[in-house]
Amino acid sequence: MYLDFVKYFFKANNAHSIHSPFVFEFFNKVFKDKSIVPCSRFIEAERLRLMSSHKTIERKDFGAGIKKNTPQKISSLAKTSLKSKKWSQFLYRIVKFYDYKTIIELGTSFGITTAYLAKTNPHAEIYTFEGCPETLKIAKETFHNLEIQNVNCVEGNIDLTLGDTLKKIKKIDIAFFDANHREEPTLRYFETCLSLKSENSCFIFDDIYWSEEMKSAWKAIINHSEVTISIDLFFVGLVFFRKGIEKQHFVLK
């Protein structure tokens, strides 16, 4: 991954080399936006509370990378498996900027990134998916503590819950894929969500360089015929489906 980062770093461009007006606007007004996220203080206090917890939970895991069904410290999980403040705020800014209202998050964990997504607009509707019951219980406490009421928690293996849940939704404005970091499920979830995308939707994939499988999944996603704009930010990758423009791939820093 270190070598991948070095390659990314030397390939990545800044504002001067972006000729797409859409991507130029995204880069300057969303990616480079450093303004204060108003809800951040409260959500970060919740993150800190979890990072300081002395409790353990019984993890039931479906994803790649973590040991199966073992007791794990809440503090270690909060330190290692949640998106950082910087990237959670980045997601918040995307949702705010494009005024997205229907939001899918695959992989709730303790609900920290979910909270940022939910706080963008009380009228936004968030569907967040988590397979581990004890983890989701903590996420629900997070939502309660932050007075969040616009989150629908879908408990169970995404393999089984995604299709049925999407039947209740008319469209997906934004989807954040942060659950099973394997190639086949990532591509399968992507294909499932594609049926509800619109020209303005954005799909975001976490950890696109995390493993050979994730690199391969990302390659397949950006080459998909429905994807017109893809943006590699190393830690996450974004794809858009805007019509009437030439397919273009950007590597930005």
Binding site for ligand SAM (CB under 6 A): 61-63, 81-83, 105, 107, 109, 112-113, 129-132, 135, 157-159, 178-180
Q: Which residue blocks in 108-156 are alpha helix, DSSP H?
A: 112-118, 133-145
Closer of 135 and 228 to ligand SAM (Cβ) = 135
Closer of 26 and 110 to ligand SAM (Cβ) = 110
Q: How far is the CB of 121 from ligand SAM (least distance, A)?
A: 19
Closer of 175 and 252 to ligand SAM (Cβ) = 175
Q: Which two tokens stand for residue 58?
A: 């019984």
Q: What is the DSSP letter of 39?
A: T
Q: What is the DSSP letter of 84?
A: P
Closer of 27 and 129 to ligand SAM (Cβ) = 129
Residue 152: partners with Cβ closer than 8 Å, 6 or more residues away = 125, 126, 127, 128
Closer of 18 and 175 to ligand SAM (Cβ) = 175
Q: How far is the CB of 250 from ligand SAM (least distance, A)?
A: 23
Q: How far is the CB of 158 from ligand SAM (least distance, A)?
A: 4
Residue with tokens 């300081």: 52
Q: How far is the CB of 206 from ligand SAM (least distance, A)?
A: 7
Cβ–Cβ < 8 Å for 82, 109:
yes
Q: How far is the CB of 50 from ligand SAM (least distance, A)?
A: 10
Residue 40: partners with Cβ closer than 8 Å, 6 or more residues away = 85, 89, 116
Residue with tokens 């995604």: 162
Compute the residue count for the chain: 253
